[in-house]
Amino acid sequence: MSTPEVSVIKMYAAREEIYPREIKGRYATLRWLCVWLTQLVFYGLPWLQWNDRQALLFDLGARKFYIFGIVLWPQDFIYLAVLLIICAYGLFLVTAVAGRVWCGFACPQTVYTEIFLWIERRIEGTRSARMRLDKQAWGIDKLWRKSAKHLVWGAVALWTGLTFVGYFTPVRSLIGAVASLGLGPWEWFWILFYSLATYGNAGWMREQVCKYMCPYARFQSSMFDKDTLIITYDTDRGEPRGPRSKKTIAPAAKAQGDCIDCSMCVQVCPTGIDIRDGLQYECIGCAACIDACNSVMAKIDLPAGLIRYSTDHAITKKWSFAQMQARVLRPRVLIYTAILALIISAFFVSLFMRTPLKMDVIRDRGSMGREVEDGMIENVYRLQIMNTDEARHHFKISVAGIDGIALASPDELDLEGTGSRAVPVRVRVAAGEGRPGSNKISFTLVATDHINQKVTEKAVFFVPRGAGHDEHDDHH
Amino acid sequence: MADFTSGFWNIFITVLTLLGVFGCGLLLWAQSRQQIVVKPGADGGIGTTGHVWDENLTELNTPMPRWWMWLFTITIVFALVYLYLYPGLGSYPGKLGWTSTGQYTEELKKADAEYGPLFDGYLKKDLKVVAADPQAHAIGERLFLTYCAQCHGSDAHGSKGFPNLTDRDWLYGGDPETIKTTLLHGRNGIMPPMGAALGSDADVANVAQYVLSLSDAPSDPIKRVLGQSKFAVCAACHGADAKGNQALGSPNLTDKIWLYGGSADTIMETIRKGRNNVMPAFQDFLGEAKVHVLAAYVWSLSNDPVAQK
């Protein structure tokens, strides 16, 4: 702690190394659970197969996203946008209720830092051993420990980068290509870029990412209110702090608070703050200090919870847990929940009602509407038909909107899986049908070998003025 | 590159850009050397720099992390390297000489290298064989929709002034090689204005009635006979039997196929004012190999390629 005196600083300060102490406890276990869960999903997903292809593959080159049974095309980009909105609202809701639990338990920055810290501890030792190692002069011991650490970090980072690219290039062939150094320049770039980002962020930058880079850390305060769960130090119970001997443990004598100033909560903090100074923006809500304090309280036979999850209201108004709980369902939370539920249900309903069939109707502009044999009026269209399903289908085209309107070109076609084709079609109407000018019609495409695959698109049919009577009128 | 009409703007932009970059660097350098006296806070906590705005807003003594400074430095270096390699300073083309046209040409070359062998393979084959190839047909259809559909329509049925390619009537000949020649070198079909050569308006009307009668369309019997005597002028191109001449591209007048319309009015307009039809040449634009595939596709529109293989 700096002493309160006038000091001279520079505008740019070097980062001070933080040596978080390893801590075991309820929340540490929970965080490791999150690490395992998220990383099993991240490292494992690209290896799953589905229909003889990678189950999850974002094929940017072919502009097709394969997500298990679904193939999304660029036209389905809205789903990605909605998915991002759902994630954002989910984050808002969780933050309003429980503060920065995302930051503390599931954020990739936290997760990878946790993994990298674990490696660091296995190689360089405990907090005090690491502090000693950093101070000591370079020697064999320091050299091998440091290089081993960076080697392992690098290996984990490389695998992470490889996995990341595996979402965009089939991972099985990617591994082979890496082994034979046969990757394309972009694959190299992204593998190395993502590896370097993992290595740099989780190994070197750590809390700097949360404090200076993360945009979420900057606007999360707008989702906080006095009923949001935060990690708090119970000042009334803890102060005045100070070391105590067995003799001074006299609960009645309030000359001393429960905090023995052991500084464990500061030592375990990954961002290097003192939670006893109150809520700070650096606090990522990881609850390491809660685990630390509770273990100390257990040792000195005092109740746990000197540092605990609580709310601003609960602390200042001395609410019980039940009273605090009663405030969870406040308007802000209800509104967030309602909006989230609405978006999620709309998302899934539209995803399941989505037909894997798309059609764009493009009217030929070269000829407006022409007269053909028997005085029929003919219009030409180009149908861009996309079969986004993975199976080959047989399709039938029909047209409606004017009495007797019919196709004058083949109305059936085959289209292979995830294929697209532009089909020129001619549509005819008998003379006298429809009114001069544009008429609203619609094209319907149906897969004859598969139920519920049907798409209808609007179009315009043009009947020339004076058509069917006398050609002269056309040229006046 | 003559983007600027005056050399002044070239210098203006260059100087302004470089001043901006170096200015940022200078500011960063000056700031990194500056030292601030920090007074302790009122409660002995976080101190302030002593700056106060709007009555009570104070600047805390939390300096930026030094890696930020390095990021700024890297950004400045990147900017300078970029401006050296790529165009960005007035009319300076950059060390790499990059242009958007150059990149387009390069990508075109890459595409040609990738797909060229496919087209070259077809080029070696006879047009009728290519026409019977399903893959070549699909490629031809796509090429047609991209390059030909604007005039001839997506269904190749044409429209007024643009020939229908699906009937078996051809202005210049319908065998595959002739179609390919048409696509490669283009055609310029001219029907000169014949009003003056024929004589009076009545003569034009009479000839029009005769032309109508050639394809058994209803026509005025008297005018038809009067027009027949004047038809000799037309026979030079369309032939005495009015069956046209594919060497000249003059249409057959005895079928019921009309490029501009088969009404008496339209025929009279054609006779009086003439027609001028241009089919552009595609050899330079698409290259012979693509035209080969296209010609096979166009021929197949009015012929069954599998039967004639």
Residue A192 and residue A60: Cα distance in Å, rounded?
19
B contacts of A409 (beta carbons < 8 Å): 155
Q: Do the beta carbons of residue A311 and residue A226 sit within 8 Å?
A: yes
Phi and psi dihedrals of A65, rounded to 5? -105, 120
Residue of B48, B74, B155 to mutate when probing chain A, most A C-beta within 10 A: B155
Residue A418 and residue A234: Cα distance in Å, rounded?
61
Kindly determine whether residue B35 and residue A10, on different chains, have CB atoms separated by under 8 Å: yes
Identify the pLDDT of residue A474: 41
Identify the pLDDT of residue A470: 43
Residue A316 reports pLDDT greater than 50: yes
Residue A56 reports pLDDT greater than 90: yes
Residue A424 contacts B, CB cutoff 8 Å: yes
Residue B60 and residue A442: Cα distance in Å, rounded?
67
Kindly determine whether residue B266 and residue A382, on different chains, have CB atoms separated by under 8 Å: no
Kindly determine whether residue A424 and residue B155, on different chains, have CB atoms separated by under 8 Å: yes
Q: Characterize A189-211 residue by residue with b for buried, 16 or more Cβ atoms within 10 angstroms of its Cβ, and e for exposed.
A: ebbeebbebbbebbbebbbbbbb
Q: Do the beta carbons of residue B188 and residue B263 sit within 8 Å?
A: no
ipTM of this complex prediction, to 2 decimal places: 0.73
Token pair for residue A286? Answer: 């990881």
Least CB-CB distance to A11: which of B34, B37, B263?
Answer: B34
Residue B135 contacts A, CB cutoff 8 Å: no
Identify the pLDDT of residue B2: 56
Instruction: Give the length of chain B.
Output: 309
B contacts of A475 (beta carbons < 8 Å): 265-266
Q: Do the beta carbons of residue A402 and residue A369 sit within 8 Å?
A: no
The label of the residue with tokens 């047009």 reads B127
Which is more confidently placed, A170 or A255?
A170
Residue B146 contacts A, CB cutoff 8 Å: no
User: What mean pLDDT do residues B199-225 have?
Assistant: 91
Give the pLDDT confidence of B69-81 residue by residue, as tens digits.
999 999 999 999 9
Residue A469 reports pLDDT greater than 80: no
Q: How many beta-carbon pairs below 8 A join chains A and B?
A: 110
Give the pLDDT confidence of A397-410 residue by residue, as tens digits.
999 999 999 999 88
Phi and psi dihedrals of A392, rounded to 5? -75, 140
Identify the pLDDT of residue A375: 81
Maximum C-alpha span of chain A: 117
Please, what is the Cα angle at A151 between A150 and A153, to 5 degrees?
Answer: 60
Task: Please report, as a single letter, which amino acid is at residue A8.
Answer: V
Residue A384 contacts B, CB cutoff 8 Å: no
Average pLDDT, chain A: 89
Radius of gyration of chain A, Cα coordinates, nearest whole angstrom? 33
A310 pLDDT tier (thresholds 50, 70, 90): very high
B contacts of A282 (beta carbons < 8 Å): none
Residue A251 reports pLDDT greater than 70: no
pTM assigned to the model:
0.81
Give the pLDDT confidence of B249-291 residue by residue, as tens digits.
999 999 988 999 888 999 999 999 999 999 999 999 999 999 9
Instruction: With CA atoms as reference, report the closest residue to B266 among A426, A32, A475.
Output: A475
Least CB-CB distance to B153: which of A10, A277, A366?
Answer: A366
**Burial tier of A137 (Cβ tally within 10 Å: 0-12, 13-18, 19+):** exposed
The label of the residue with tokens 């707008």 reads A222
Kindly determine whether residue A12 and residue B261, on different chains, have CB atoms separated by under 8 Å: no
Residue A209 and residue A113: Cα distance in Å, rounded?
11
Residue A12 contacts B, CB cutoff 8 Å: yes
Residue A345 and residue A324: Cα distance in Å, rounded?
30
Give the pLDDT confidence of A357-403 residue by residue, as tens digits.
999 999 988 777 888 877 889 899 999 999 988 889 999 999 999 99
Ramachandran assignment for A269, one of left (phi > 0), alpha (psi -120 to 50 degrees), beta (any other): beta
Residue A280 contacts B, CB cutoff 8 Å: no
Instruction: Give the length of chain A.
Output: 476
Identify the pLDDT of residue A466: 67
Residue B161 contacts A, CB cutoff 8 Å: no
Residue B44 reports pLDDT greater than 80: no
Least confident of A13-17, B20-24, B169-173, B220-224: A13-17
The string of DSSP letters for chain B reads: ----SSHHHHHHHHHHHHHHHHHHHHHHHHHHH-EEEEBPPTTSSS-EEEEEETTTEEEES-PEEHHHHHHHHHHHHHHHHHHHHSS-STT---TT---HHHHHHHHHHHHHHHHHHHHHHHHTS-HHHHHT-HHHHHHHHHHHHHHTHHHH-TTS--BTTB--SSSS--SS--SHHHHHHHHHH-EEEEE---HHHH-SHHHHHHHHHHHHHHTT----HHHHHHHHHHTHHHHHHH-TTS--BTTTTBPPSSSS--SS--SHHHHHHHHHH-EEEEE---HHHH-HHHHHHHHHHHHHHSS-HHHH-
Identify the pLDDT of residue B59: 75
Alpha-carbon torsion A130, A269, A197, A60, what sign?
Answer: positive
Give the other-Cβ count within 10 Å of A104's Cβ: 22
User: What mean pLDDT do residues A78-86 have?
Assistant: 93
Q: Is beta strand A56-59 parallel, antiparallel or unpaired with respect to A64-67?
A: antiparallel
Q: Do the beta carbons of residue B260 and residue B275 sit within 8 Å?
A: yes
Ramachandran assignment for B158, one of left (phi > 0), alpha (psi -120 to 50 degrees), beta (any other): left
Residue A300 and residue A238: Cα distance in Å, rounded?
14
Token pair for residue B82? Answer: 């970029």
Residue B111 reports pLDDT greater than 70: yes
Kindly determine whether residue B149 and residue A8, on different chains, have CB atoms separated by under 8 Å: no
